[in-house]
């Protein structure tokens, strides 16, 4: 499996909770400025995940997560 195929498969398995856990893990031990940058970049990825959702409930969870990540300080 190529790197691109692994990334595409991870998008199929991603949920808002698992994505948030990954973001929190990557923020571990970072400075405040680095955390803000990581969260803003994660918010962009969460907005992209909205387009992959078929279910309205999942879409609203991704929207809420993207909003919270973009507004966090």
Question: pLDDT in tens for each of the 73 residues of the chain?
Answer: 788 777 677 666 788 998 999 999 999 999 999 999 999 999 999 999 898 888 888 899 999 999 999 997 6
Number of separate domains in the chain: 1
In a domain, 44, yes or no: yes
Helix, coil or strand: residue 14: coil
**DSSP 8-state secondary structure symbol assigned to residue 1:** -
In a domain, 1, yes or no: no
pLDDT of residue 37: 94
In a domain, 7, yes or no: no
In a domain, 46, yes or no: yes
Q: What is the CA radius of gyration of the chain?
A: 13
Q: What are the Cα distances from residue 32, in Å, to 20, 64, 66, 70?
A: 17, 22, 19, 14
Phi-psi region at 28: left, alpha or beta (left = phi > 0; alpha = psi -120 to 50): beta
Range of the domain at 55: 16-21+30-73
């Amino acid at each position: 499996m190529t790197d691109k195929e692994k990334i595409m498969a991870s998008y199929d398995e991603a949920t808002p909770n698992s994505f948030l856990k990954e973001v929190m893990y990557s923020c571990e031990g970072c400075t405040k400025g680095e955390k803000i940058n990581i969260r803003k970049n994660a918010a962009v990825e969460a907005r992209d995940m909205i387009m992959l959702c078929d279910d309205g409930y999942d879409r609203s969870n991704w929207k809420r997560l993207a909003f919270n990540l973009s507004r966090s300080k």
